[in-house]
Structure formats: structure tokens, C-alpha cells
Structure 1
């Protein structure tokens, strides 16, 4: 199997359908979560909604580069989102998240193998492979937080 297909499958596992690493994925954790639970604050922790939007922010930023655009995302803005105030807003966000993540995975699948070792935007950011791997690891990190926050919120 091509490396790009393997990497795309790893990304799809954390977002859509995997259970091998964390025994869950974003879709399992978020799809049946009501907006009020997703936006419930626990102490100083980020909400489930903020963490999901944070991952979506990075998926979109990297996806833009994959499509030939510029890298416009900035860490300082990666937690700045308008509040989600209804179930409709939450479901709209989730639909964008799933669609953008599917497009991200598709762009990886279509990527020529040699692109993986090429510089991503600027040498200081490493290669395309490093950025895709970082996106997957970053997603698992915040998925773990979402699982724990969900447990805390449902026990309150």
C-alpha cells in the first residue's frame, strides 16, 4: 500500500472510525453529544466544543496548503471561536468538521509519495509527512481530553 494511503487511513481512524489506538474516535465522541454538554465548562478546562473546533482549525489550515494555498493559521488564534448557542449550530459545525476532515484525508491519498518528504511551506515547519503525523498526534491528544471532559461533565 502507498504511504500516502496508509497515512490517510491513520488520520481517518482518529477522526471517523478507529478504535485501535484510543478505543474511540472524534465521530463516536461528538456525534451523539448534545450541544449543551459540548459547551459545558469544567473548571479552567476547555470545553468539548472548543477542543473540537481547535482540531478543525488546524485541519482547515493544513488542508489549505495541500490545495495550493497559503498557511494562514496561527497558534494564537487556535482557540478563538464564536460560542455555539444551539443544537443547530453544533450540528452545522460537526458537518463542516466531517466534510473538511474527509477532504483532508482525500488530499493526502492523492498526494504524490515524493511530496511527503518535501518542505511544508517553510523549512522551520519540517516536511509534509511531519505535519500530517503531527496533525494525527495532535488529534489523539485532544481526543483524550474530550473523553475525560465528557466523563467529568456527565458525572456532575
Structure 2
């Protein structure tokens, strides 16, 4: 199995269908969350909706690079979630996350292994491999937060 295929598998595990590392994934954790739960603030923590937007923001930004575009994302905009006032808006955000995640994984599988060690956009961002590993690790970090926020919300009801 190529390195790109292995990375794609790891990415899918955290976002779409895996249970190996955390015994859960984004799709599993978010599947039964209502828009009211997703937008409920718990103390000073980010909302589930904000974390969902945040992860998708970075995934979509890297997809753009995989497709030959520029790296247009900026950290300062990564939590600029538009208001969510309905279940449909929440489901639209989730659908975008699932679509962008699948596209990310599919495009990643097509990257030649040699390219993984090439510069990602600019030398300051290091290599493709480092950015892909970073995306996986970043996703696990926020998956843990979402899992804890869900538990806190459930304990309040």
C-alpha cells in the first residue's frame, strides 16, 4: 500500500468511518447532534458547530491546493462560522464536511508518494506529508473536544 493510500485511510478513519484510534470519528459523533446542541455554548468552549466549521475550513483549503489552486485559508478566519438557525443549516454544514472530507481522501490517494516529501505551497509550510499528518492530528484534537462537549451537553439535560 502506498504512503498516500495509508494517509488517506488514516484521514478517513478520523473523519468518516474509523474506530481504531479514538473508538469514534466525526461522522459517528455528529450524526445525532441537533442544530440546537451544535450551537449551544458550554462555558468558554467553542460550540460543536464552530469546531465542525473550523475543521472543514482547513480541509477545504487543502483540497483547493490538491486541485492545483492556491492556499487561500487564513487562521484568523477559521472560526468565522455563519449563524446556524435551523436543522437544515446544520445539516448543510455536515454535508459540506462529509463531501470535502471524501474529496480530500480521494485526492490524497492520487498523490504520488514522491510528492509527499515535496514542499507544500511554500517552504515555511514544509512538506505535503507534514501538512497531511497535521490535518489528521488536528482533526483528532478537535474530535476529542467535540466528544467532551457532547458529554457535557448530555449531562445538563
State the TM-score, normalizing by the size of structure 2.
Answer: 0.98
Write the distance in 2 (CA, Å) between the matches of 1:91 and 1:78: 19
Secondary structure, in 3 states, of the residue corresponding to 2:81? Answer: coil
CA RMSD of aligned residues (A): 0.6
Instruction: Give the secondary structure class of the aligned counterpart of 2:43.
Output: coil
**Following the alignment from structure 1 to structure 2, what is the Cα–Cα distance between the partners of residues 131 and 102?**
17
Q: Distance in 2 between matches of 1:31 and 1:43?
A: 23
Alignment correspondent of 2:139: 139
1:55-91 CA-partner distances (Å, limit 9, x unpaired): 0000000110111000000011111111111000011
Q: How does 1:1-156 map to 2 (within 5 A)?
A: 1-156=1-156
Shift of 1:136: 0.1
What is the distance in 2 between the residues matched to 1:95 and 1:78? Answer: 18
Partner of 2:133, secondary structure, is helix
Q: TM-score scaled by structure 1?
A: 0.98
**Per-residue deviation at 1:154?**
1.1
Distance in 1 (CA, whole Å) between partners of 2:143 and 2:27 is 10
For residues 32 and 115 of structure 1, what CA distance do their matches in structure 2 show?
A: 38
The CA deviation at 1:31 is 1.3
Residues 100-132 of structure 1, C-alpha deviation per residue, up to 9 Å, x if partnerless?
100000000011111100000000101000000
**What CA distance in whole angstroms lies between the structure 1 residues aligned with 2:91 and 2:80?**
19
Displaced runs of 4 or more, over 3 A = none
Equivalent-residue separation in structure 1 for 2:43 and 2:80 (angstroms): 18
Mark the runs of 5 or more structure 2 residues left unpaired by the alignment. none
The secondary structure found in structure 2 opposite 1:82 is: coil
